[in-house]
Amino acid sequence: MKRAELLQKLINVGIVSVVRADSPEKAMKIADAVIAGGVKGIELTYTVPHADTVIADLVKKYAGTDTVIGAGTVLESVSARLAIIAGAEFIVSPTFDAEVAKMCNLYQVPYIPGIFTPHEAQEALMAGSEVVKLFPGSMATPAAIKEYRGPFPYLNVMPSGGVNVDNLEAWFKAGATVVGAGGGLVGPAENDDFAGVTENAEAYMAALERAR
């Protein structure tokens, strides 16, 4: 039941913000700004120094809310286990990794691997992934979801990379289960403009409301 509950929580938030930063402190500020704007899904990437500590801090800070905290850019099973122990509620990778899938299955935590071909989609489904990350989304179009669902009618897709306020509605109308948002959402943080990140999050949430 744990994985099913976490999956539903992830689907409910609708938008997952990809948080990258060069320090734990900045990563926390970005995540806080995103959440303040209404986006309640956080994918804290393992490119952030001491990512597992940041994940633990976010999980503690937002415990008991509808916020869902996960780990991204997870390339191998050791990082996956550290993230899960820190409290990560889902694991995201840029590609599929069988050992990461096994680790997530062991702890009943959703694993969302990156895919771009039918072969990769099938591999992920066979390993138990209920949601796959269409990455990079900027190299595909919303119409790709329909094409994937020809051979894989039960495939749940999270496009990530290139999802923005202007095309978010198109992705959901095409059948996206949830979307990942990166630079288009958190870009102002490059200049320490965290108020700008919050404003962007509000715009994304308005687009999500229109899409749903």
H or E stretch at 208: helix 194-211
Q: 102 an active-site residue?
A: no
Task: Tally the domains of the chain.
Answer: 1
Residue 60, pLDDT score: 98
| Residue 156 placed within a domain | yes
- pLDDT-derived band at 212, boundaries 50, 70, 90: confident
For 158, the 3-state DSSP assignment is strand
- pLDDT-derived band at 1, boundaries 50, 70, 90: low
| Residue 11 placed within a domain | yes
pLDDT in tens, 136-145: 988 988 999 9
Omega before 136 cis (within 30°)?
yes
- Residue 154 neighbours by CB under 8 Å, 6+ apart: none
Residue 24, pLDDT score: 98
| Residue 212 placed within a domain | no
Check 40, 43, 89, 130 and give the catalytic one: 43
- In percent, the amount of the chain with pLDDT more than 90 equals 94
The residue segments making up the domain with residue 59 are: 2-207
Q: 133 an active-site residue?
A: yes
pLDDT in tens, 156-201: 999 999 999 999 999 999 999 999 999 999 999 999 999 999 999 9
| Residue 33 placed within a domain | yes
| Residue 73 placed within a domain | yes
Q: Which residue would you say has higher pLDDT here, 81 or 136?
A: 81
The DSSP secondary-structure symbol of 160 reads: B
Average pLDDT of the residues in 58-78: 97
CATH number for position 120:
3.20.20.70
Check 26, 40, 89, 133 and give the catalytic one: 133
21 pLDDT more than 80? yes
Q: Nearest Cα to 140, choosing from 152, 158, 119?
A: 158
Residue 2, pLDDT score: 87
pTM: 0.96
Average pLDDT of the residues in 97-101: 98
Residue 182, pLDDT score: 95
> Mean pLDDT, the chain, as a whole number?
96
**Contact predicate 13/201, CB 8 Å:** no
Longest dimension (CA), the chain: 45
Residue with tokens 């229109």: 210
